[in-house]
Amino acid sequence: MIRIVAYLIVAAAIMVGVVWLADRPGDVTIVWQGWRVEMGVGVLAAVVASTAILAALLYRFWRALVAAPRRLVAWRRDRRQRLGYEALSSGLVAVAAGDPQGARRQARRADAMLGHPPLTLLLSAQAAQLTGDEDTAQRHFQAMLERPETEFLGVRGLLSRAMRDHDMAQALVLARRAMHLRPKTPWVLTTLLDLQTRAGDWTGASDTLDRAIAAKVLPPGPAQRQRAAAAIELSRQALADGRLDDARRTAKKAYRTDPEHPAVASWFAARLVDTDRRRRAAKLIEQEWARRPHPELLASYRRARTPFNALAWVKDVERLAAQAPAHPGSSRALGEASLEAGLWGEARKHLTAAIAAAGNAPPATLCRKMAQVEEADTGNQPLAHRWLELAAEGNPDPAWICESCGAPHAAWQATCRRCGAFDRLEWRVPDRVRPTLLGGDDAPMALPGAADLQPPPAAPSPS
């Protein structure tokens, strides 16, 4: 639009000029070297204008002639690039469509057109992977390591291969290199953490966890719990090296990081006892027992109370149980301590309470202990026998169970012994297929002795 207006203005200006000249006629005479030319002013103006236009056209033609070879080269380069990228796109489509031959052909074309650009290497590697030619793929990934723009992709390709081959040492080296290149990429952080925990590199795992938290790759709650788990393992390493103070300090750090971690309180308490901080340990255990009674806390409490005396121990357990009087764990602890001290009546009372609290799933260990009580106290063999029968059908004691694969563990550890999952152990009764006990799962369990405890002992009621 603007251009049209500009043309109109220029045309109008020329017209005005021509009219102006026509209105004012005059002659021009040129005398040069014996030549004499006479003409009107209008003719002179026309001659000057034509000469200028001709000169401009000649100049442009000359410019185009000079630039022609260079433009030809540029055109050919552009064409090759366009075809190269077309081949690349077709190759990527072929990879996505699972067509290895097509992918390889397009990779070769792209390679010829583009001359080894980074993406061609990736396409060639993927095409090789599609045909199952892992060695060629590996070679391409290796070549990608040489270029800064493809190094990360090369590392990723080689890392996947190492993981598939279960070459964990090599995978760890590559994952560390990937972390160095892209420290905030989520898959890098999670893969590195997984490899470090499996390799028992707890210093590295702690560092990776800190990075993952900073990069918001892990949600804060679970990440804190995992940091505590890694710290417990660091503490365990210190303990194994005989560095008891280091072990206690790291355990304290773990406890402060996440006091809710299922294993951290008893671990810290045990390390306090190791380093002769018995009063601190007892205080911690009492405080934790109120929240979450756990047999490992009880074991540390007992270690903190040396020299051991069975009757004094009953008093100690009473003080501990007072922190959580309604909890079956307290009843169990009291029952076991009374049994050890030979206080049969107390033992029977507390063990029965603990068994009753377990509802329809009597813990086998406690049933056996009840049999022991009956035998020692009243000598009621049939009743003791009935308890042993119940024990055979009873539930196993709680243990550290991997929530990934279900494997039970006698002691807590950060990685599952069977599947290697990190920080998945929980304290609970192992799953088992329980035979229908005493008329089905929903029926209330008939505990032996409820009617038989009054002396003289009678045979257990048939059930």
Which x/- pattern over 257-296 shows residues binding Zn ion (rule: CB under 5 A)? ----------------------------------------
We find the least distance from the C-beta atom of residue 402 to Zn ion, in angstroms, to be: 3
Quick one: 76 or 418, whose CB is closer to Zn ion?
A: 418
Nearer to Zn ion, 155 or 421 (CB): 421
Among residues 130, 343, 416, 425, the one that binds Zn ion under rule CB under 5 A? 416
Stretch that binds Zn ion, among 97-105, 154-162, 233-241, 395-403 (CB under 5 A): 395-403
Q: Does 405 bind Zn ion (CB under 5 A)?
A: yes
Among 193, 217, 421, 425, binds Zn ion (CB under 5 A): 421
Stretch that binds Zn ion, among 10-18, 79-87, 335-343, 411-419 (CB under 5 A): 411-419
Cα 407 to Cα 421: distance, rounded to the nearest angstrom: 11
Asked if 419 touches Zn ion (CB under 5 A), the answer is yes
Q: In the complex with Zn ion, which residue's Cβ is closer, 56 or 419?
A: 419
Nearest approach in angstroms of CB 262 to Zn ion is 15
Q: What angle do helix axes 295-303 and 328-341 make, rounded to 10 degrees?
A: 40
- Given 107, 110, 128, 402, the residue binding Zn ion (CB under 5 A): 402
Least distance (Å) between residue 294 CB and Zn ion? 21
401 sits near Zn ion (criterion: CB under 5 A): no
- Calpha distance 321→342 (Å, rounded): 19
Nearer to Zn ion, 292 or 417 (CB): 417
Under the criterion CB under 5 A, does residue 403 sit at the interface with Zn ion?
A: no
Residue 121 touches Zn ion, criterion: CB under 5 A: no
Size of the site for Zn ion (CB under 5 A): 8
- The piece of 142-150, 301-309, 410-418, 434-442 that touches Zn ion (CB under 5 A) is 410-418
- Any residues with CB less than 8 A from the CB of 364 and at least 6 apart, and which? 391, 392, 393, 394, 395, 396, 397
Residues in CB range of 53: below 8 A, 6 or more apart = none
**Contact residues for 391 (Cβ-Cβ < 8 A; gap 6+):** 362, 364, 365, 367, 368, 371
List of residues 6+ apart from 79 with CB closer than 8 A: none
Start-to-end CA distance of the chain, whole Å, equals 104
Q: How many residues does the chain have?
A: 463
CA pair distance 126, 463, nearest whole angstrom: 69
Structure tokens at 43: 């003719």
**Closest separation between CB of residue 416 and Zn ion, Å?**
3
Task: Give the integer Cα–Cα distance in Å for 395 and 360.
Answer: 10
Q: At its nearest, how many Å lie between Zn ion and the CB of residue 423?
A: 11
Interface with Zn ion by CB under 5 A: which range of 136-144, 176-184, 200-208, 408-416? 408-416
Pick 52 or 419: Cβ nearer Zn ion: 419
Per CB under 5 A, contacts with Zn ion among 186-245 are none
Q: DSSP string covering 311-322, please?
A: HHHHHHHHHHHT
Q: How far is the CB of 422 from Zn ion (least distance, A)?
A: 10
Find all residues with CB under 8 Å of 118, minimum gap 6, and list them: 144, 147, 149, 150, 153
Q: How far is residue 230's CA from residue 71's CA, in Å, rounded to a whole number?
A: 64
Alpha helices in 149-185 (DSSP H): 151-164, 168-181
Which residue is it, tokens 């990069």? 215
Residue type, 428: R
Q: Is 13 in the site for Zn ion (CB under 5 A)?
A: no
| Pairwise CA distance, residues 77 & 71, whole Å | 10
CB of 159 or CB of 401, closer to Zn ion: 401
Q: Which segment (110-118, 171-179, 373-381, 417-425) binds Zn ion by CB under 5 A?
A: 417-425
- For residue 404, state whether it binds Zn ion (rule: CB under 5 A): yes
Amino acid letter, residue 293: P
* Residue spans of beta strands (DSSP E) within 151-256: none
Cβ atoms of residues 337 and 317 within 8 Å: yes
Candidates 22-30, 59-67, 193-201, 420-428: pick the segment binding Zn ion (CB under 5 A).
420-428
Q: Which is nearer to Zn ion, 399 or 407 (CB)?
A: 407
**Binding residues vs Zn ion (CB under 5 A):** 402, 404-405, 407, 416, 418-419, 421
